Structure 1
């Protein structure tokens, strides 16, 4: 797996479709047929990815939106992005 750095550009893969269901974002990986859901900050991060952001920009946006420490933000955003990458829902460049 590629290491995610502040300059890593994060993008959604073409193998993912999404829909809002109530207040959650439902994702389906079209190749595997698996479903995932994101809510709250996870959904916000997904929306930032769709806006074409680098990892550092995503962390900055989350820090401005939520009242958390930089260390917690770094770890939580990185954990989510690694999980999305492992499930081939995002690509890194």
Structure 2
């Protein structure tokens, strides 16, 4: 799956309220309540999921992941954008209304 062309570094992302999650070992399991679907994420995906529990820009997300892991910065940026795009498509995260951030 490719990254969303409308997703910029300054796009703010936050986890959807209709999701429940738990960590098992180094993974996160997320339940989308409305859809009744479970999703599993590896350690990096779990870290991203934890980050988006509060609103963060895409750039803040990949900078945090880049600092935590020994990875090429361009690869990190691409992988984070791809996962965030997938999370958006699955309605696990959303871009908050700017009025919600006040």
Tell me the TM-score normalized by structure 2.
0.83
Which of 25, 35, 45 is residue 38 of structure 2 equivalent to?
35
Which of 14, 38, 45 is residue 17 of structure 2 equivalent to?
14
Any idea what the Cα deviations from partners look like across 1:4-29, whole Å, max 9, x if unmatched? Answer: 11111110111211112233211011
Moved over 4 A (4+): none
Structure 2 unaligned spans of 5+: 97-102
Cα RMSD for the two superposed structures: 1.5
2:91 aligned residue: 88
Aligned length: 93
Structure 1 unaligned spans of 5+: none
For 1:4 and 1:39, the matched residues in 2 are separated by: 23
